[in-house]
Chains A and B, each alone.
Chain A
Amino acid sequence: MERIKAIKKISSQLTKQLVICNIGFPSRELFHVKDLSTHFYMLGSMGLASSIGLGLAMSTTRKVVVFDGDGSILMNLGSLVTIFNQNPENLILIVLDNECYGSTGSQCTYASTVDLGKVAKSIGFKTIFFFKNSEEINFKKVLKSEGPIFVHFKVKKGNANVPVIPMEPVEIRDRFMDEIKNPK
């Protein structure tokens, strides 16, 4: 399945959850599929989607969904250890794993030889979902489970042909923080 299709299938099943989306094409694809005030699009700081998600999850009772990537989580594997130890029940970490650095020209990552789901399991994550090429993604089941949840989603290499996000960083921040302060 293409990554944008995976993003579309999951985001169509989200309601009020707060979303942190990884830098580069994943954010562009999510913005293109659906743009909501519950979305925070990363424009820099590669590797830190799961950390931003953890800090947010520790500060709110709302569910927090993170769209992360294999290259990004490999930059910040310590984050999985911290998430496991802090044990936020409202955090869902989705790793869209295309086994490459998609936004820089699809150079390979080590995710083709290292199973990131097994890494999460060995750290101690109790709830792990695995999706691959299945047309039916029952994300409701993920949303009903107690976190922290690790979702390993294998997707095809390649990016959708979508434009850059036409929002200023501060505009993204202000809209997102207003949504948290005054839920719509």
Chain B
Amino acid sequence: MDSSEAIYNALKKSGIDFVVSLPCVNLGKIMEIVDSDKEIIHIPVTREEEGFGICAGAFMGGKSPAMLMQNSGLGNSVNVLASLFELYKLPVMIIVSHRGTEGEFMSAQIPMGKATPKVLDALTIPYFNPKNPDDALNIIPKTWQIAKTKGTPVAILLDIKFW
């Protein structure tokens, strides 16, 4: 199975019906598939923090929201994840293209790539690291259950080697 299709299928299996996105080269194909799915509301945004605000409103309106973003966007979103999502116990599925991992060709991606798991730890956000499409298809729906039950954001870190 294609890696992008696996993520899309896993989101569908989880019941995700509201997707907010900012692009990464690795997320291009998923964004296209999501955009053509009429059952999913897809909102491209200008900055990840804004996107999380939109996801919070969508959840309160009855939707199951997910963010598609590069890990750099996590740095833009620390406060909203703490003082909106943790404070009000709101779930959101965060699909992260994790740059700066093994195989990275761009040195500029390394610092935030290294910081990403530590930032998630600091925010006590559970995260998982599927290694291949089958793994992702299995892990993502279970992770969304954790998010809904506990009222917390959850993250799926997709290393460069995943794609």
What is the interface of chain A, defined by CB distance below 8 A to chain B? 20, 40, 42-60, 76, 78-79, 81-82, 86, 169-170, 172-173, 176-177, 180-181
Contacts and interface: CB of A to CB of B under 8 A. Distances in A.
Contacts of B18: 55, 58-59
Q: Which of B41, B47, B50, B65 is the most central at the interface, judged by chain A CB atoms within 10 Å of its CB?
A: B50
A40 to B, nearest CB: 7
Nearest to A80: B46
9 contacts: A48-B50, A54-B53, A55-B61, A56-B57, A58-B58, A59-B57, A79-B50, A79-B53, A169-B89
Contact of B60 (A54, A56, A82): A56
Interface stretch (B80-88, B104-112, B115-123, B132-140): B80-88
B57 A52 contact: yes
A40 B87 CA distance: 13
B29 interface: no
A52 B84 CA distance: 10
Q: Is the interface of B mostly helix, strand, loop or mixed?
A: helix
Interface residues of B, number: 33
Contacts of B47: 76, 78
A44 B83 contact: yes
B57 A82 contact: no
Q: Is the interface of A mostly helix, strand, loop or mixed?
A: helix
A12 B113 CA distance: 50
B16 to A, nearest CB: 13
Contacts of B87: 43-44, 169
Nearest to B18: A59
Given A43-B83, A60-B62, A177-B60, A55 B89 contact: no
